[in-house]
A and B are shown apart, each in its own frame.
Chain A
Amino acid sequence: MIDQRPFFGSLYIDNHAMVRQMCLGFMKGDRDAANDLTQEVFISVWNALGTFKGESSAKTWIYRITVNTCLQFLRKKSNRLNVSLPSTFDIGEETTDPPDGNQALYVAIGSLPEVDRLIIMMVLDELDYDEIARVVGIENNNLRVRIHRIKKKLKELLQNEQRYQ
């Protein structure tokens, strides 16, 4: 049997920052919740590793898992399967604190409906629209219209945020 640890280790290193940032946006900038969610994503990645056939890039594959795990996380939180990480578990050292201005961005993203949050974060990650459409499972044309609306809404939210500061 092939040892999947090295492959998983490289996926973790290459994608951890991206996943964690999406989780942070999804959880409205709440770092503890984002760390929990990031762990959930990589647990799902490990458990699904045997199904990765390389038909899509590893990155797109991880986006799918991240999006699905985020959407299921809030529901599961109240009915969590009894799995806890070891108390010594630490997902890594944060080398610098995010600039304060970005907290407003996370809060604004967190104010959007769940699916819109995930879509706009993939846009900010500069993922191709075709890929985003495949990750979410909606038509490309619908996605473009939707992204236009989300950008507009996000801009309004950020402007409101600035106005009240």
Chain B
Amino acid sequence: MNNDINDMNELIRRWKQDRSLKPSPAPVDDLIKAAHEKRKSMLSFQYGNIIVLTIVVFALVLFFLYLFPFQDTLSRAGVGLMIGGLLVRIALEIQNAIRFRKIRSTNSALETTNRTIAFYRLRKVIHGPITLTILALYTIGLGMLTPEFRIHVGDTIFVFDGLYAVAAIILIWQIGKGIRKEMKDLEDLIAIRKQME
């Protein structure tokens, strides 16, 4: 027992002896500058998707209201599916941004880890099944517009549909890549939480 105490006291002595770094106050301004940049990056990370999706919704609304006001019920339902899906996604992104803001490095490690896990779990759902469902609704909606669109633009519509299909495939591939990365983050976090149990 005494040996253990002596060992520990020796370790504490060695540990404290090593605290030899003398920081100069000079870099504080650089640190603050870096902190401001980081805050900006965090804000664009949190709100970037929301802003982009909101612009897309506005563009679609303006297009369907002023440039191409559809008359058929089928087409209008299609517009509803396209815009409705995007609105649901925006709402979920806002909810996730709120969760992100609740992650504070000033809380206990367990609380911070739990909140980060909750954030990643919602993110996984949003970027996985929900985005795929919204993409499917968007595709169905676009398909419902095609008959009326074709009356006005002819077979060119199939070129647009083809381009859309390519974009959708790229998007699905990107989603898969993003989800794999986030699953790894989630697994790491769960492993850390297990260490605290």
Q: Is chain B found bound to chain A in the same assembly?
A: yes
Residues of A within 8 A of B (CB): 5, 8-9, 12-13, 16-18, 20-21, 39, 42-44, 46-48, 51-52, 61, 64-65, 67-69, 71-72, 74-75, 79, 81-86, 88-96, 98-99, 101-102, 105, 113-116, 118, 121, 124-126, 134-138, 151, 154-155
Report the separation of the CA atoms of residues A8 and B27 in the bound assembly, to the nearest whole angstrom. 12
Known: A8-B28, A46-B32. A71 touches B20 (CB 8 A): no
What is the CB-to-nearest-CB distance from A162 to chain B, in angstroms, rounded to a whole number? Answer: 12
Known: A8-B32, A83-B38. A21 touches B19 (CB 8 A): yes
Interface contacts (Cβ under 8 Å), in number, total 162
Residue pair A96, B31 in contact (C-beta under 8 Å): no
Nearest CB in chain A to that of B37: its residue: A83
Q: Which residues from 65 to 109 on chain B have a C-beta closer than 8 Å to any C-beta of chain A?
A: 104-109
Instruction: Given contact pairs A13-B25, A86-B33, A138-B110, enumerate 8 new A-B contacts (beta carbons under 8 Å).
Output: A17-B20, A47-B39, A64-B108, A93-B22, A94-B22, A114-B192, A115-B192, A124-B16
The 7 closest A-B pairs by CB, nearest first: A137-B110, A137-B108, A92-B23, A46-B35, A115-B195, A16-B23, A68-B105
Residue pair B107, A68 in contact (C-beta under 8 Å): yes
Known: A68-B105, A138-B196. A81 touches B38 (CB 8 A): yes
Residue pair A71, B28 in contact (C-beta under 8 Å): no
Residues of B within 8 A of A65 (CB): 105-106
Residue pair B108, A136 in contact (C-beta under 8 Å): yes
Most chain A CB neighbours (cut-off 10 Å) among B15, B26, B113, B181: B15
Residues of A within 8 A of B113 (CB): 71
Nearest CB in chain B to that of A101: its residue: B14
Report the separation of the CA atoms of residues A39 and B30 in the bound assembly, to the nearest whole angstrom. 10
Residue pair A102, B14 in contact (C-beta under 8 Å): yes
Residues of A within 8 A of B109 (CB): 64, 67-68, 71, 115, 118, 135-137
Residue pair B185, A94 in contact (C-beta under 8 Å): no
User: How big is chain B's contact interface, by range?
Assistant: 35 or more
Residues of B within 8 A of A89 (CB): 27, 30-31, 34
Residue pair A95, B34 in contact (C-beta under 8 Å): no
Contact of A64 among B21, B106, B188 (CB under 8 A): B106
Contact of B18 among A69, A102, A154 (CB under 8 A): A102
Query: Interface segment, B5-13, B123-131, B146-154, B165-173?
Result: B5-13
What is the CB-to-nearest-CB distance from A96 to chain B, in angstroms, rounded to a whole number? Answer: 5
